[in-house]
Structure 1
Amino acid sequence: MAVTFISRDERLSVFLWKIEEELPILLKSAALTPDEQVQYEAFRAESRKRQWLTVRALANKVFGHKATITYSAAGRPSLGGDGAYISISHADAYAAITIGGANHIGVDVESINRKYTTIRHKFASDDEAAIFTASGFEESLYLPIIWCAKEAAFKAADCTDVDFIRDVVITRVEANETFTAGEVEVRFNPLRAAGMFKFTVIDNHVIAWGKYEGV
């Protein structure tokens, strides 16, 4: 697997892999358990199989041994036996995981080329758009960043029935000169929580990750 991006700090480690391998290689690297094999065989689309296998192969590589990923009834992933928390995302030919020592972490990877303008009213407020335009962002870039950061923040909150306009609010953005990396401050109203979520633009994709403080 090709390592496209790695970021580590004292709170979180995030890994982004470009999926280029064929299924037999991914199957070997994923080292599926019998239960995982049943789940894998239920997928029909090859693209979904490749993404699912890559996440497990990536986790195995990070930990240096077989890492078992399970899911709660609400669909939240967790790691068995490694004393760490995990969040997962995949889009097109990319898979991402973030790992930390505390709960309420999230990661998301999205293509910049999705038609975000058609659903803008569902996830980006005028106030949030103004924050980004005041910092020099074009709409074609800040919409996928907002979507990606809010998806990561939603995963970190581990809540259901969340409204991306009402409940997940971006209050600040900082970025480098090329707008290809930075961080946003996200307030999650149902938990009365806030956190900084970093983002990076790679190969026409955005990856965002972070955690809430004091939750």
Structure 2
Amino acid sequence: MGLYYRERFSNGQEIAVWEITEQESELAALCLAAGHNPGEFSHTVNRQRRLERMAVRVLVDILFDRHTIIQYRDNGKPFLVHGKELPEKELKALSIAHTRRFACIVTAPGDKAGIDLECLSRNFEAVAKKALGKEEKVFLSDNLQQRTLQLALIWCAKEAMFKYMSQEEVDFSKQMTVAPFFPETEGVLSGTFQQQNGITLLLPLCYKKLDDHFMVWVTG
């Protein structure tokens, strides 16, 4: 299907989502048409990963241009630079997420961005054991459908906060919390992240339901 969703926000963030319905050769052709060498993706052995990487490349082309390069810091955090300028000019912050169906990116001013995407068909019960704190377990619904949506959003929110903060050895159940909420098709969440120095940061988040997926991003 191609570009599934795109939105620019007043805070300078922009989100784009690609639905991966193409064959690998079709995505490679899109990259080639934009001036990229499809061979640069060949070292990725897993086919699904190659599709995701090519879809992300196409999204960056849509939001910026073919000269915008995705680079990675030592901790694996992606960022964008403009390759035509010498020295390369660093652009907005970047965060990437993907499932088998979708690839998505969020760009943001400054040096922080965080987004996650989860398919609702996944079993999130393991999340309740691994990633939820006592405060979050208290407000989980007894209704199985609502509980699944809550677990999906909590996990998605914590993944987005983890990417945004870009710190190592984070305990998802103790260092991050999501305030009580009732899941809708879109809305806002209130998260906290306790840093290793003991300082707790408030992190506002937004979420949106994309068919059978939830997408959550830190709004900064």
Q: CA deviation at 1:8?
A: 2.2
| 1:1-215 equivalent positions in 2, closer than 5 A | 2-11=2-11, 12-31=13-32, 37-38=39-40, 40-81=41-82, 83-131=91-139, 133=141, 138-173=146-181, 179-190=184-195, 192-212=200-220
Distance in 1, matches of 2:9 and 2:127, equals 34
Q: Which has the larger radius of gyration?
A: 2
Identity %: 23
Letter in 2 for 1:107: I
Distance in 2, matches of 1:172 and 1:105, equals 23
| SS of residue paired to 2:18 | strand
Q: Given that residues 31 and 54 in structure 2 are in contact (C-alpha distance below 8 angstroms), is that contact kept between their aligned partners in structure 1?
A: yes
Distance in 2, matches of 1:8 and 1:98, equals 10
Distance in 2, matches of 1:33 and 1:3, equals 19
Q: Given that residues 132 and 173 in structure 1 are in contact (C-alpha distance below 8 angstroms), is that contact kept between their aligned partners in structure 2?
A: no
Q: Which runs of 5+ in 2 are unaligned?
A: 83-89
Q: Given that residues 2 and 18 in structure 1 are in contact (C-alpha distance below 8 angstroms), is that contact kept between their aligned partners in structure 2?
A: yes
Distance in 1, matches of 2:7 and 2:138, equals 29
Q: CA deviation at 1:116?
A: 1.1
| SS of residue paired to 2:55 | helix
Q: What TM-score does the superposition give when structure 2 sets the normalisation length?
A: 0.84
Distance in 2, matches of 1:130 and 1:200, equals 24
Distance in 1, matches of 2:20 and 2:169, equals 32
Distance in 1, matches of 2:135 and 2:61, equals 42
Q: Residue 66 and residue 20 in structure 1: after superposition, are their counterparts in 2 closer, same or farther (change >3 A)?
A: farther
Q: What TM-score does the superposition give when structure 1 sets the normalisation length?
A: 0.86
CA shift digits 1:11-32 (9 cap, x unpaired): 2111111011222232233357
| SS of residue paired to 1:61 | helix
Distance in 2, matches of 1:57 and 1:143, equals 31
